[in-house]
Each structure stands twice: as structure tokens, then as C-alpha cells.
Amino acid sequence: MHKVASALTIAGTDPSGGAGIQADLKVFQEQEVYGMSVITSVVAQNTLGVQDVQHLSIDFIEKQLDAVLTDIPPQAMKTGMIATVDMMELIAKKLANTNIPYVIDPVMVAKSGDSLMDEKSRQVIRNTLIPHATVVTPNVPEAEILVGFEIHDNQDAEKAAKVIVNELGAKAAVVKGGHLEGAAVDVLYDGEDFYYLKADRFETKHTHGTGCTFSAAITAELAKGKQIKDAVVIGKDFITDAIQYPLELGNGHGPTNHWGYRLKSLPGQREVSK
């Protein structure tokens, strides 16, 4: 009997559907993985920004986690923005008792460039969550916070990915190149080799939830048993198509297209190399 793969997302909500829990569940469904969710924060946000947020209690978050883990254990899980130190420590405690592949999208910097975390929270992510991670998916500003130096080019991204793996303890890291000039090149380091995932850059403002969508696609593929490199390559294809075929919704930074992956891709658009 075929067993359906399942994946768990632990994150906040987005009532406009472009990011957070809602985006993750859409990606899991598109990738034919049974999606489950644990909500940490209820967020009032849309394509124009965040208006308000209400954090759930640690006790209730733990009850949600236990409800999932004791009944339908996922084959992979991911976290997005984890708002408080207590939430991070709870998730780390649960991760310590499992071997489930874990993807962390370290949401630390807003699109405006403002930091979303104080130094204590950054230290907890470095010391308690990243050591459990199968894959960490920071963009350039987030990677700079994690490693403590500036990233200007692919060589700097290589160095950062290596620090995240060799010093912070993750199995693999993908430093996303969207903030750098030129083609959109993501640098993957799996503890042994570097891979360069290249795709065309599309001029669009519809990029709300790109980090959530990319990391969710990787999580779905890990849940199906893919190796890290293969999961990341599929995730790169998924987010590239999601950006390439925008839905043009909202008055601000609109959502990506979570079914763009179903559409025919342009030939020669992307490349993976060592």
C-alpha cells in the first residue's frame, strides 16, 4: 500500500494567503504531500505589510505540536518566523527527540531591511535551532546576521554557507542570491560540495512569501525521501516558476504563484553546476 508523505510547517499566519502557514500548505499540496500546521502567531498582514500580530501561548503551541507528532508524525518539517525565544526553545526541545528532516527559513529581516529579532533571539537560533537543521535557507541579509560578515558576491556566499554548516552545525545551507547583482544564483553547501543554482531574474514586485514558498518546496521533497541537493534543486525550480508567472494580486508586493510550477517553463532558463 502506498503511503502518502506528510510534512509539517510551524509558523505564523497570513490571511492574504501569500506567506506563512497558508503559503506552506499550498506548496505541500502542489507537491503532493499531506500538509499539517502548527500556528505560533496569528498575523494581520497583506501585500502592503503587517498591521498587527498576536502570539499564541507556549502551552498551546506545545499542545498543537504534540497533537501532530503523536498521531501523524511528518516525514519532514519546517519553521518560518518564530517570534520569541520561548517558542524557539520549545521547538528545539521537540527536535531533540526526533530525526525528522528539518528546514529552517530564518526570517530575521523585513523587506524594509529592518531587523525582526534582538541579539538574544539571534543567538538562540544559532545555538539551538540551526544545529538541528537539515537545510537552512537564509537570504543575504539573514546570512550576514548568522555569520557576522558582509556578503557581496558568490565567494562570500560560499564562505557564509560553509560557516553555517561547519561552525553552526547545520547539515546544509542555501544562501539565496536574490539580494545580489546579476542572475539569481543560490549557493548550496552540503558539507562536501558547493552547488550553484542559477535562474533568470524577473522584474516583478510580486515576491511576497518567496522565502516561505522556497523552503516549503524543499521540505515537501525531503518528506518524499529526496536527497538534500535534489530537494533544493526542485525547490529552486518551484520558486522560479512561482515568480515567473505572477498572479498580480494586491496593492503592494503581491504573492507568488503557487501553481506556477505546473505551467510550461521556458527552456534554458535555469542551471545547476558545481
Give me the active site residues, please.
Answer: 176, 207, 209-212
| Residue showing cell 500546521 | 37
Output the CA angle 60-64-68, nearest 5 degrees: 165
Give 249's strand partners: none
Q: What single letter denotes the amino acid at residue 147? A: V
Please answer whether residues 73 and 61 qualify as being in contact, where contact means their C-beta atoms are separated by less than 8 angstroms: no
Q: What single letter denotes the amino acid at residue 54? A: Q
- Listed residue (228, 166, 225, 154) closest to 191, CA to CA: 166
